[in-house]
Structure 1
Amino acid sequence: RHGDYPQLHDKYVLVNVPTQQLEAVEKNDRITMRIALGSMETKTPLLTGRIKRIDFNPQWIIPKSIIKTSVRHHAGDVGYFERHNYFVRERKSGKIISPAFVTADMMMSHDYHVVQRGGKGNALGRIIFRFDNDYSIYLHDTSSPSVFANHNRIVSHGCIRVERPYDLAVFMLADKDERVMEKMKYSIAVDLSNEGGEADDRPAIDKSKLLHSLSVKPTVPLFITYYTLYPNADGVMTGYDDIYGFDPVIYAKIQNFIKQ
């Protein structure tokens, strides 16, 4: 449908929604990991793209849908904002608004963003993999890794949470430079809450080791697919649940194509 498919590439990432797994393939090498995907209300879209950047300790701009249900009733609650590492930023100027003066209407306004600071506890985790798409979805780490123990992992707002983000980040590197990998390990483990290092006994951040972003060069093709019949880890074709109910739709499309 998109004029592209994995077998055209030596290196690619394939997400199959029904198996709730991700495969990172480079020639004869393959990494497989569990993923969590969009819920029935916020399904992960099927698309192709190219992973172009890895960001470390990303900030999370909280969607208005989540603000409406879970955040806006905490307007003015300074303790709530501090516990969750949230802040409100004016969209145009970038000015930070004190939580004490934040109103529910302000949080719902398009003139302001509610943002969660990067670091430990951030909903996006420590690593995010960015690719251009029209849905504002990404592959990313999570602050709740216990989700990967569940059989049903259809829980997100559309983004794809990955079980082994560091391994996937290493896979993205064209040159497996040990110095870069050490910086990645440092960046996803460092305590960002003590940037100055003077407030207490926690060590100061070594900014020479801290990564904020890495370009993926060359970019890595990404395929988000939907196959309810797919090889398992032993290569045996296996049936998986039609979790989004797409099979009848796909079947109808194929039948219409055949009739043409």
Structure 2
Amino acid sequence: MEHITHKLKKAPVSLLLMVCALLLLTVESCKKKRSDMANALYKITPNKAFKNITPEGLTPVFQKVLADEKKNLTNPQQIAAFYAQNEYDPIYVMDHLGNNDLKSFNTYLQKAGEHGLDPKIFNAQAYNALLNKFYDKTAIKTTDEAYHDMAELEVMTANVLINYSNALQFGLISPRRIYARYFTKTLRPDSNSVNQVLGIKNIKTYLDSIQPKNPQYIALQKALAAGNTAPGLTKEETDRIIKVNLERLRWKNKPSEDKYVVVNIPDFRLDVMEGGKSSLNMKVCVGEGRNKDYTNNLVEYDDSDKTDRPFSRETPQLNSLIYEAQVNPIWNIPQSIVNKEIVKHAGDDPYYLDNNNIEVYQNGKKLEDTENIKWGSEDLTKYEFKQKPGDDNSLGKIKFLFPNKSSVYLHDTPAKAAFGLKMRAVSHGCVRLEKPLDLAHSLFGDGDKYEMIKQFMSEDNPKPTDVALPKKVPVYITYVTCWADETGTLQYRPDVYGLDIVLFAHMQKFLGI
């Protein structure tokens, strides 16, 4: 220490002043900021209860409120860590109460219903009541009450602002948590998104920036506000369908590529999208669903519907990349179909396998004689059943492959009559295509590969051929029951898998219903 003092004595006066300033700043940084806290809040309120408040007096109250409210916070650890790092400085109250930012936030909360979200989800009524106390010069009576209400408003603002921001940007619910067959990558809030909210400098600007701008979203909002009633539905049913589809639009899982294939399960339709517009569309058949007769609607649900229990044949929701077309494919018949269908047909008709070009393999070798198979009493898992290429092959003349956990694909079919049905949830889970050659043309374009596909599909003695796509194309299998078409008219589709019911039931959980 003496050595340092000796050095300083010899230093220029300017350097001494600089060192002193640095020491002073270091000491000051350890003190609480906001020395003008009392005057600043008194000007805003103006309430005498704030005249004697200090940062030192607020800190223990703030810490206690944080501890008491921990169970009610969505991100308690991050919020507590943020304020600990900032010396329990009431940032929202001090920086945003006087510039009307908190009033703007309160207005957005009260209008959450415009998004199909009940304001109760965000505790909007309590927030409104607490905020208004600060603009009533007689509502807060004592210094102790001022400390408590400051801490309460600060913590509530942080928590509710995070929840509101997350709901609008990511949705209330993670679809991967509520749907058993959901394999679409969906971004969810994380520590970075929470820290971004806690670091907001201008709340009004931020809130404006996160309001959804998607034209589909805005169209559904307008329909909800107008009180539209869909044909054949009650107003309550219509509102609920719009609300669940607004939630789907908030999920961060929408295609961003210039070209992709999308299948909408309830619409039984495939579109090839290019530059934001459909360049090809066709009817499809999808997997059989639990609500195929449409007897269940959004009004009639109970606690059991809050758990997703899909029918075994439902087509999953997913995103992937189409990488290959198999022309004249061999159908490797799934064991479930063998057990439920092949057993019955082959047991009743000894010629069933031959008539349907189905071959049986054991240990990789084809069985020349299948008469010894004991249908119905033998374990058939030791056999493999394959249907040869041909006009009656269940996969038709072509299938399009993309990696997925459910072994589903897009494929042709010899059962063309089903495309004339209005309700086309009739497959075992894969997506049957009305115009498979058109899809091949869209994916491969003009050229040798497409011409080869077209030729091979028309041959009398077809052979399985794999044709790799020169560039992989994204595919999205999704579930949307309400949207605005090209003319702006709202389209509604029945909830063939009951997934609207499941989603709405989970949304109700946020209200404690």
TM class by smaller structure = 0.7 to 0.9
Pair 146,107 (structure 1): closer, same or farther in 2 beyond 3 Å? farther
Stretch moving more, 139-148 or 179-188: 179-188
Counterpart of 1:189 in structure 2 is 458
Q: 1:118: Cα distance to partner?
A: 1.1
Hey, what's the Cα distance between the residues in 2 that align with 1:61 and 1:216? 22
Q: 1:109: Cα distance to partner?
A: 2.5
Pair 107,154 (structure 1): closer, same or farther in 2 beyond 3 Å? farther
2:503 to 250, 256, 259: 250
Q: Would you say the 8 A contact 1:36–1:148 is kept in 2?
A: yes
Hey, what's the Cα distance between the residues in 2 that align with 1:236 and 1:99? 57
Structure 1: gaps (5+ residues): 194-209
Alpha-carbon displacement from aligned partner over 1:67-101 (angstroms, at most 9, x marks no partner): 233322425965322211011012x3334442334
RMSD: 2.6
Counterpart of 2:414 in structure 1 is 143
Q: 1:256: Cα distance to partner?
A: 5.5
Hey, what's the Cα distance between the residues in 2 that align with 1:145 and 1:11? 28
1:98 to 369, 394, 400: 369
Q: Would you say the 8 A contact 1:55–1:214 is kept in 2?
A: yes
Q: 1:186: Cα distance to partner?
A: 1.6
Hey, what's the Cα distance between the residues in 2 that align with 1:168 and 1:107? 42
Hey, what's the Cα distance between the residues in 2 that align with 1:107 and 1:232? 53
Task: Find runs of 4+ consecutive structure 1 residues off by over 6 angstroms.
Answer: none
SS of the residue 2:266 aligns to: coil
Hey, what's the Cα distance between the residues in 2 that align with 1:89 and 1:75? 18
Q: Which amino acid is the alignment partner of residue 176 of structure 1? A: D
Structure 2: gaps (5+ residues): 1-173, 175-184, 187-251, 290-310
2:382 to 111, 125, 133: 111
Q: Structure 1 residue 176 and structure 2 residue 446: aligned?
A: yes
Stretch moving more, 103-112 or 126-135: 103-112
Q: Structure 1 residue 223 and structure 2 residue 223: aligned?
A: no
Pair 29,150 (structure 1): closer, same or farther in 2 beyond 3 Å? closer
Q: Would you say the 8 A contact 1:76–1:102 is kept in 2?
A: no
Pair 245,29 (structure 1): closer, same or farther in 2 beyond 3 Å? closer
Alpha-carbon displacement from aligned partner over 1:210-258 (angstroms, at most 9, x marks no partner): 7711112321111111111023464532111111111122234445579
SS of the residue 1:132 aligns to: coil
Alpha-carbon displacement from aligned partner over 1:103-148 (angstroms, at most 9, x marks no partner): 3269742221111111211011111011111111111110111110
Alpha-carbon displacement from aligned partner over 1:5-48 (angstroms, at most 9, x marks no partner): 45410110111111110111122552111000111231111111
Q: Would you say the 8 A contact 1:126–1:142 is kept in 2?
A: yes
2:337 to 62, 66, 91: 66
Pair 15,127 (structure 1): closer, same or farther in 2 beyond 3 Å? same
Q: TM-score of the superposition, structure 1-length normalised?
A: 0.82
Taking the TM superposition and a 5 Å limit, the aligned residue runs for 1:13-32 are: 13-27=261-275, 28=277, 30-32=279-281
Percent identity between the two aligned chains = 31
Q: Which amino acid is the alignment partner of residue 484 of structure 2? A: P
Q: Give aligned pairs, total.
A: 240
Q: Would you say the 8 A contact 1:34–1:162 is kept in 2?
A: yes
Q: Would you say the 8 A contact 2:324–2:466 is kept in 1?
A: yes
Stretch moving more, 106-115 or 15-24: 106-115
Which of the two has greater helix per residue?
2
Hey, what's the Cα distance between the residues in 1 that align with 2:318 and 2:349? 40
Q: Which amino acid is the alignment partner of residue 82 of structure 1? A: D
Q: 1:65: Cα distance to partner?
A: 2.8
Q: Structure 1 residue 84 and structure 2 residue 337: aligned?
A: no
Q: Would you say the 8 A contact 2:449–2:467 is kept in 1?
A: no
Q: Would you say the 8 A contact 2:359–2:366 is kept in 1?
A: no
Counterpart of 1:213 in structure 2 is 466
Stretch moving more, 66-75 or 121-130: 66-75
Hey, what's the Cα distance between the residues in 2 that align with 1:29 and 1:238? 16
Hey, what's the Cα distance between the residues in 2 that align with 1:108 and 1:234? 56
Pair 163,232 (structure 1): closer, same or farther in 2 beyond 3 Å? farther
Which of the two has greater strand per residue?
1
Alpha-carbon displacement from aligned partner over 1:177-233 (angstroms, at most 9, x marks no partner): 1x332221221111127xxxxxxxxxxxxxxxx771111232111111111102346
Q: Which is bigger in relative contact order (C-alpha 8 A, separation at least 6)?
A: 1
Counterpart of 1:55 in structure 2 is 326
Stretch moving more, 27-36 or 107-116: 107-116
Pair 77,98 (structure 1): closer, same or farther in 2 beyond 3 Å? farther
Pair 167,107 (structure 1): closer, same or farther in 2 beyond 3 Å? farther
